[in-house]
Structure 1
């Protein structure tokens, strides 16, 4: 059970009916404000009292200081203040994490420390695992809303030991806010340039003596910063709706249950590609409304049960997730003119459906136990389709996939001596995948059917040394694995050969330090990772044939991050990452030309950094406002040049992005101004290469500002 779930019973106090109005008013008039930045402390005279940071990186609540590998944590307050409205936006601002995205709801390719598919082969070909409240999901859902999220943990290095396949580069743990025994909630509204808007709210509290509930809702949208050349209007106006309900049951006898139902819907998001260089006002030549039918729906239903035993905790998580996706993509008239000499719309519609059933059953140590241990079994089944219709040449592909995975795992951290701890873990996984497809072209239909089986072991061993009570040193060796599979984008039976599994070996040396009063934290790591047979997508622009290609890679680098609570008003944060990632084997047959050994891994900059300043100041009474306070946050994101493609034809320029939040708080309310990309940095979401004359990509949004209001109780 997470630390934020108290085992205190949910029974209401005597006289609660008479006092509920008084309690609600007291909460509304209290000094609790809408969270604005990651400073979770309460000042007292002469000292700063900080709340210890806990994470669930190893399937149990632990101090982040005790985790024997590198990780970054983004709390809900930071997500709100920096307006990181999707998981993709949160990851894009994390040093050491690289996101390649065409702007669609299903297009993100995420790498950590330079490790990951150079091009994703399928929705099943994720290099980073997404874990939401203990439920595994595809990183193709990186565009999901960060609705009512408590914290996001970015786990770096192979995480196959406890979190399973497709976590060769790392994993993302998302923890949503849970019901509480007190009436709590908030409402938030924002509006800004380019049609940006968001309305959001959450309400939770006790329902019975043993049951609490929480409901959260968000509606948001914007006008695309890319225009349609034919009517001069924004190409799309994406709209998002997210809803989550949760029930927490606690019998005050060591048993708890958490039931979660969530649905998110994204409309009119489009994966876009345009000729370079970009105009000052980017635009594409499409028939207006061609992307209006694009949509993606995610659903998640999960039940977590916990039972505390004498020396351990038994946990069961049963889950069902569903994804429905429809999207038109293609080349506009500008690109086809450059590629083929004649302007026309080249359009393909993809439709994907996926259902996943998963069950995790584990037994582990209680929080705070001297010896950490966990062991369990995991079962999952996925049924998925991915269909494509080419509106230009009439070709059609109907593809069906299934995956069955079973695994047994365990990890233990044992104190060898007063200052030394040994961690060792192992997981063995059995996978079985099937694939059936019909390929239609010029009146003929070709059928293809294949299957594969694989079983493999992943694991890690780590040694930690407590240099002082506040400083830990650690070294970890880990082995990861990304299973083989079938290409989603094959256009004929001859292109559907399964791609190989990727195998990962990594080593990391690091340290973690926290000052005695908790005001200063400092972390650093050195790492090297070798990957055999990582994945690239081969594509012929003339024949439109798609194929699977494998290549070896190696990445090495360093990370350093710090947080300094200077006083009860000022907090400084910084994080820097150096990553040198290269392809180490030749890969012929990739779109844009053969990949030579020695090429840099695309989208991975040598240097990136993030620097923040959060400052609050109590103000004198003003306009009758009780206890007004100024609340500011500045975040500066710096990134150096990075290769646009695996052949290193050209680099995407580095950029510096400055965001700001300036708010006035009083009695639970905050009115604030926000600014995104205040320096109007011109940066790329991705880049691509077709020929010497045809370079394509997508620019990020320019400067925008707006106004927001939040009230919490």
Structure 2
């Protein structure tokens, strides 16, 4: 186990970088720096990225972008978001108990339960509208781009930390297909496949699917089985019409069904405590159903292009399981003598239900991207209907049963508390981009977007279940709550972005600029403000405010020794206003968001890639983020690190793909990642020690087939993936290993 003080860590990291620059090694193809996705210099080709809304080579794009092409995705075994995020500097994914919740933390811009996302996620040109849909299995993927820094001027609200652009494999002119199947030590089995080809001269199709089933990896000795079984199946279809005359129509539909378990936490005071086994007495469920249909219509005219993107999405998730303190019946501890489990004879369990439907529409007009003058303008709207309910039930030892829109009348699992709210949200935006290449040396790009978000929250909780909240409200002279109450708030912001690019030589680019990101505010469940106040929790109210982040950034990109070495770097400073933090209120079993009025973030990234030969690659990437709370209602938190922010990331990787004869090539790959110290709440009550992970892959590939062995978390690092205020910890996955085989035609 490696341990570093901050000073020693910085020195060791710089020493590692120096060793790599001096070593005869090469960076991984597309694995972690801006240039790792490009082909070796001898090939003369570079990956084309579209993250800035225009096509350009990765090396010439004036932004900190990590990109992964199809070959890199296959070689790295990327099949879920955590895989590519773990290969990206200054970006972390906090995996949580809810299957639909995985928090992206990018340059210190964080995410929390029930919050808007910290990045815009765009899949095949359609922006994902619900953060509960991000954490899903990836298959049949052509390219992934991760943009760092606010991208609100380009992608609107919620692109406050950056953007993730995912492109699936497109329909083809000839019939082709692929299938991959694998097993792991879960015992788990998975397979995914794709088939594509022409239907007629101007109609092409692609269909792809996935199935995954594992018994799990983390034992629950109380129940005598694994705590985390997981099943998922997904299907995606695509029809591409090309009638000619500049028109094209891209129709897509997808579904995803995930089945796993919920609420198997441990309660600890120190996030580094991994000694406790999972001991919940209710296995519970966590079932998520997602559907999407979309249509993209494009017209390429004479000197301009028009694109219309229409999308309809639904996400449903029901979660049940044990409640605080997640111990078996007769062992549970309750905080108050009045609680039903105080005697030790009765426990609590819980249920949460989420149902979200969203319709979105974007229309944009743009010039050809290869001209010196580039322009784009358009508009966007989205309508969202959201319902959420949470509640506790008395655990009589007869199991836990789901509760949806109404309190349960089940005598085997009687309702103890219940809250529900619905939201009717409508947002719209107008945007314009303008860029001009004055010469080979100078280019200036400017973008401006205005987002307006109207949110309406209706209390759906029956009056009979509002007694506790109204009692607390009466003590503080606050308004009483009633079923049917409507709260309305408007959130809006201008989001500018300006970038200046200097290219003194074809192998050297400097860029710098200013950008703003905006993330909409919203509503906690009815009455939590007074409950938080009565429990001494500050910064949490019935409404959480919108967040803005203003960033100044300078960066460079360089290629040396005829493309043998790529060295890129960037430095940034961000002022975040009203960033989110998470609080669980045990008193009414609600998950809530609060605001930190002001946080200052400062950091940098330095990435190197060496390609001495076509088949040998090596990379290193170091990212540092320093966060400081500048303003908070409780002065005790001022000067602390911001919640859920990791101080640093270090990535080192190597890949060797030699030709071994007989039409066969080999794959040897290793990736090392170190996640620095991580803080979890505004008071910095606990800090996770650095986490070090190693993933390896080895295999052989022929013209139409491949066979690969793999291991993630090779050295079985034990750590908690998440810590929530109140001591809730969620265990990270242990070592997972297996073998997979693929065939393509």
Corresponding position: 1:141 with 2:133: yes
Question: Is contact 2:49-2:56 (8 Å) kept?
Answer: yes
SS at match of 2:73: helix
Match of 1:371 among 373, 378, 398: 373
Question: Is contact 2:651-2:673 (8 Å) kept?
Answer: yes
Question: Is contact 1:235-1:288 (8 Å) kept?
Answer: no
1:668: how far off?
1.5
Question: What is the rounded CA distance, in whole Å, between the counterparts of 2:665 and 2:527 in structure 1?
Answer: 58
Question: What is the rounded CA distance, in whole Å, between the counterparts of 2:707 and 2:39 in structure 1?
Answer: 22
SS at match of 1:146: coil
Question: Is contact 1:105-1:141 (8 Å) kept?
Answer: no
Corresponding position: 1:484 with 2:516: no
1:62: how far off?
2.4
Corresponding position: 1:192 with 2:184: yes
Gaps of 5+ in 1: 1-34, 589-593, 621-625
Partner of 1:26: none
Match of 1:497 among 537, 542, 558: 542
SS at match of 1:649: coil
Match of 1:408 among 430, 435, 460: 430
Q: 1:310 to 1:493 in 2, by over 3 A?
A: farther
Question: Is contact 1:356-1:383 (8 Å) kept?
Answer: yes
Match of 1:660 among 668, 681, 696: 696
Question: What is the rounded CA distance, in whole Å, between the counterparts of 2:199 and 2:559 in structure 1?
Answer: 40
Question: What is the rounded CA distance, in whole Å, between the counterparts of 1:58 and 1:641 in structure 2?
Answer: 32
Question: Is contact 1:395-1:442 (8 Å) kept?
Answer: no
Q: 1:184 to 1:342 in 2, by over 3 A?
A: farther
Question: What is the rounded CA distance, in whole Å, between the counterparts of 2:584 and 2:734 in structure 1?
Answer: 32
Partner of 1:670: 706
Match of 2:416 among 360, 384, 394: 394
Question: Is contact 1:265-1:295 (8 Å) kept?
Answer: yes
Partner of 2:629: 583
Match of 2:119 among 118, 123, 128: 128
Alignment of structure 1 residues 103-118 onto 2, 5 Å: 103-117=97-111
Question: What is the rounded CA distance, in whole Å, between the counterparts of 2:47 and 2:584 in structure 1?
Answer: 46
Match of 1:561 among 598, 607, 612: 607
1:570: how far off?
0.5
Question: What is the rounded CA distance, in whole Å, between the counterparts of 2:85 and 2:225 in structure 1?
Answer: 30
1:178: how far off?
0.8
Deviations 1:432-457 (A, max 9, x none): 11110133476557323111123321
Question: Is contact 1:85-1:145 (8 Å) kept?
Answer: yes
Deviations 1:638-693 (A, max 9, x none): 12221233211121121221111110122311111111111211232112343xxx
Partner of 1:15: none
1:367: how far off?
3.2
Gaps of 5+ in 2: 1-27, 337-341, 395-414, 468-481, 533-540
Q: 1:503 to 1:667 in 2, by over 3 A?
A: closer
Partner of 1:21: none
Question: Is contact 2:39-2:47 (8 Å) kept?
Answer: no
What's the TM-score once normalised by structure 1's chain length? Answer: 0.86
Question: May I ask how many residue pairs the two structures share in their alignment?
Answer: 657
Question: Is contact 2:571-2:604 (8 Å) kept?
Answer: yes
1:549: how far off?
2.6
Question: What is the rounded CA distance, in whole Å, between the counterparts of 1:99 and 1:241 in structure 2?
Answer: 23
1:705: how far off?
1.6
Question: Is contact 2:274-2:720 (8 Å) kept?
Answer: no
Question: What is the rounded CA distance, in whole Å, between the counterparts of 1:507 and 1:251 in structure 2?
Answer: 45
Q: 1:151 to 1:130 in 2, by over 3 A?
A: same
Corresponding position: 1:458 with 2:495: yes
Corresponding position: 1:607 with 2:648: yes
What's the TM-score once normalised by structure 2's chain length? Answer: 0.83
Question: Is contact 1:48-1:519 (8 Å) kept?
Answer: no
Q: 1:386 to 1:88 in 2, by over 3 A?
A: farther
Deviates more, 1:337-346 or 1:407-416: 337-346
Deviations 1:296-353 (A, max 9, x none): 1111111111111111211111111111111125331179438667656432211111
Partner of 1:86: 80
Deviates more, 1:77-86 or 1:300-309: 77-86
Deviates more, 1:559-568 or 1:80-89: 80-89
Deviations 1:401-431 (A, max 9, x none): 1111111101111123441111111011222
Question: What is the rounded CA distance, in whole Å, between the counterparts of 2:152 and 2:711 in structure 1?
Answer: 39
1:636: how far off?
0.9
Deviates more, 1:413-422 or 1:184-193: 413-422
Question: Is contact 2:188-2:216 (8 Å) kept?
Answer: no
Question: Is contact 2:38-2:47 (8 Å) kept?
Answer: no
Question: Is contact 2:249-2:296 (8 Å) kept?
Answer: yes
Question: Is contact 1:226-1:281 (8 Å) kept?
Answer: no
Match of 2:333 among 312, 330, 337: 337
Partner of 2:686: 650
Question: Is contact 1:99-1:111 (8 Å) kept?
Answer: yes
Match of 1:321 among 313, 316, 334: 313
Question: What is the rounded CA distance, in whole Å, between the counterparts of 1:280 and 1:683 in structure 2?
Answer: 6
SS at match of 1:395: strand
1:288: how far off?
4.7
Partner of 1:627: 663
Corresponding position: 1:254 with 2:246: yes
Q: 1:379 to 1:42 in 2, by over 3 A?
A: closer
Corresponding position: 1:574 with 2:620: yes
Deviations 1:377-398 (A, max 9, x none): 1111111111123214622222
SS at match of 1:161: helix
Question: Is contact 1:126-1:140 (8 Å) kept?
Answer: no
Alignment of structure 1 residues 296-307 onto 2, 5 Å: 296-307=288-299
1:564: how far off?
2.5
SS at match of 1:81: helix
Question: Is contact 1:514-1:521 (8 Å) kept?
Answer: yes
Question: Is contact 1:549-1:587 (8 Å) kept?
Answer: no
Deviates more, 1:180-189 or 1:227-236: 227-236
Alignment of structure 1 residues 25-424 onto 2, 5 Å: 48-117=42-111, 119-120=112-113, 122-123=114-115, 125-137=116-128, 138-276=130-268, 283-291=277-285, 294-329=286-321, 330-331=323-324, 332-333=326-327, 336-337=332-333, 345-392=347-394, 394-424=416-446
Alignment of structure 1 residues 529-548 onto 2, 5 Å: 529-542=574-587, 544=589, 548=593
Question: What is the rounded CA distance, in whole Å, between the counterparts of 1:454 and 1:433 in structure 2?
Answer: 8
SS at match of 2:42: strand
Question: What is the rounded CA distance, in whole Å, between the counterparts of 2:636 and 2:66 in structure 1?
Answer: 32
SS at match of 2:59: helix
Partner of 2:676: 640
Corresponding position: 1:682 with 2:718: yes
Q: 1:140 to 1:88 in 2, by over 3 A?
A: farther
1:214: how far off?
0.7
Question: What is the rounded CA distance, in whole Å, between the counterparts of 1:336 and 1:109 in structure 2?
Answer: 29
Q: 1:68 to 1:42 in 2, by over 3 A?
A: closer
Question: Is contact 1:236-1:289 (8 Å) kept?
Answer: no
